[in-house]
Structure 1
């Protein structure tokens, strides 16, 4: 009966007729070894289907060739598409990915952060939206965020949210809207899409109307809450700039239920421009984020951090190297023409 245990380094050494040290040198491509020895070890690895123990490599301070990605959920089109592009970008450099869905729960994000650190991944990309996760300040490994500001020393890869917000609001006004509302997840100075919306309306002498439905609202409640909040301001608005496309879809549903023709009676513009929403709602006017470019930029900066950290002998020098990689200039957005605004 064949063995049921995973082959070990010792099994490879025995099959190849060499020492454990020799197998280790072949795996790490270190030291001089004859071509014949390398071929015997490689043949034994293939025959046994040996997989290096990544946890053991981590204990010895070696790269695990793995990266952690924390997102709210890949069930949301933006984060699903983002995760796909991050995985593709990492695969080009022979890295693998652990995808962690926080599901909008701070405790779950903390648990995943602890899991990734304890498994000694080579770096972490965080795109979750929970606030006040102080545990990030204790992370001593390469770290990059996507559209999330944790610290001035942690690179934050994002699109030009302010330019996108201005483009969306100006589009509504140019098409005849005079009372546009903003539908967003959280209102405040950190919301650059809101900042631009308010600035454009101030220039036009129009009072802003801001409607919020929290980002982490359960999927089964979110459309109903959006409808209720819009009902409360329906008499004072003639259009909506939704800061994500799923919310824009809920606005279109609300307008249809109330007999409003889009765009004749009511105008709607979204934000994100994911492939999934463009297929589902090809007529939606929206601001497209460069999702693939965001993913590749995040991976590029993270891998540069990893390379710099590995080149340092002291942790203090590694941290200084990490601080030398500031957030890049926000990436550009574009208007995707549709029939809703």
Structure 2
């Protein structure tokens, strides 16, 4: 009689091969019912992992998953590069998961990474409806995203950044600056600071959120519509690409920058600094963000049960250019 294989166990239990692998390696969230079905099939068939498979169980893979919303954004491309360099210095290789701003795709990647025995995950996505991180059974570090009290967050000082950008626009003469952001919720510290500063100056906050999953051309159309409708004389965009869309709108409509419209972006990636060297922006310490996230994850892999103190935000800086 042929020796039973992993596929035979999966067929007997009525599950996927990936699920059997996860049960064997104790990786990822699985219901008690699934675990019982798989273990029952293993017992019935007399399945035993081969020597190589047995040697892998309980050992480190040397792989880390990096989950980002899109590497097409210069900020995330630069962040991934910084994380990878730091991980390499610790002897780890990275598996990049570009979820393309799609929540279902992110959930699939999370499941895939756990099933394939990565040692940990660094995530910088913003799909608030993906809840699998709470159930993950491996170390996780977030970049600029709050996932839960047990998951450390590495971030720039978004409260300070939002305050610097808004105060700068007002100081340069803007009296109706608009905030353009991906999402508007209580956890958006940049938006919180914008509102606080506007209110303190007796000005009306005006926030427009386009949504993370909005295609680039649709976002551009929304930005142009909002700027035309509101008569904004200033723009605080919470990412540099949206700030560049505002500059394009000003050029197309004959608005002078910064005389008629003042524009401030956010992130300050190397690619944007080279492409639009005069863009006023809030520069993030991207290299430090990546290095710190990698170090934290390596520490958690080595000591998964150790207490982790909250991470203080890393400083940001206003970089003034001709756009304001």
* Alignment-derived partner of residue 91 in structure 1: 88
Alignment of 1:27-176 (within 5 A): 56=53, 59-176=56-173
Structure 2 counterpart SS, 1:63: coil
* Alignment-derived partner of residue 204 in structure 1: 201
C-alpha spacing 1:283/1:139, structure 2 compared with 1 (3 Å): same
* Alignment-derived partner of residue 273 in structure 1: 268
Shift, 1:273, TM fit: 0.2
* Alignment-derived partner of residue 285 in structure 1: 280
C-alpha spacing 1:126/1:205, structure 2 compared with 1 (3 Å): same
**TM-score using structure 1 length:** 0.78
* Alignment-derived partner of residue 289 in structure 2: 294
Shift, 1:245, TM fit: 0.2
Shift, 1:228, TM fit: 1.5
Structure 2 counterpart SS, 1:271: strand
Whether the 8 Å contact between 1:85 and 1:292 is mirrored in structure 2 is: yes
Structure 2 counterpart SS, 1:177: coil
Whether the 8 Å contact between 1:154 and 1:327 is mirrored in structure 2 is: no
* Further displaced range: 154-163 or 185-194: 185-194
Give the one of 315, 320, 324 matched to 1:337. 320
**What is the CA–CA distance in structure 1 between the aligned matches of 2:53 and 2:214, rounded to whole Å?**
41
RMSD: 1.3
Shift, 1:158, TM fit: 0.5
* Alignment-derived partner of residue 252 in structure 1: 247
Shift, 1:258, TM fit: 1.1
C-alpha spacing 1:57/1:303, structure 2 compared with 1 (3 Å): farther
Structure 2 counterpart SS, 1:221: helix
Shift, 1:209, TM fit: 1.1
* Alignment-derived partner of residue 234 in structure 2: 239
Higher Rg of the two aligned structures: 1
Unpaired segments of 5 or more residues in structure 1?
A: 1-54, 310-317
Unpaired segments of 5 or more residues in structure 2?
A: 1-51
* Alignment-derived partner of residue 311 in structure 2: 328
Structure 1 consecutive aligned stretches of length 4 or more whose deviation exceeds 2 Å: 55-60
Shift, 1:150, TM fit: 0.7
Whether the 8 Å contact between 1:272 and 1:289 is mirrored in structure 2 is: yes
Alignment of 1:300-319 (within 5 A): 300-309=295-304, 318=305
Whether the 8 Å contact between 1:301 and 1:325 is mirrored in structure 2 is: no
Whether the 8 Å contact between 1:274 and 1:288 is mirrored in structure 2 is: yes
Task: Tell me the alpha carbon deviations over residues 201-227 of structure 1, each in whole angstroms, 9 at most, x when there is no partner.
Answer: 111111111122112111232211211
Number of residue pairs matched by the alignment:
273
Shift, 1:176, TM fit: 1.1
**What is the CA–CA distance in structure 2 between the aligned matches of 1:217 and 1:285, rounded to whole Å?**
24
Whether the 8 Å contact between 1:105 and 1:130 is mirrored in structure 2 is: yes
**What is the CA–CA distance in structure 2 between the aligned matches of 1:57 and 1:89, rounded to whole Å?**
30
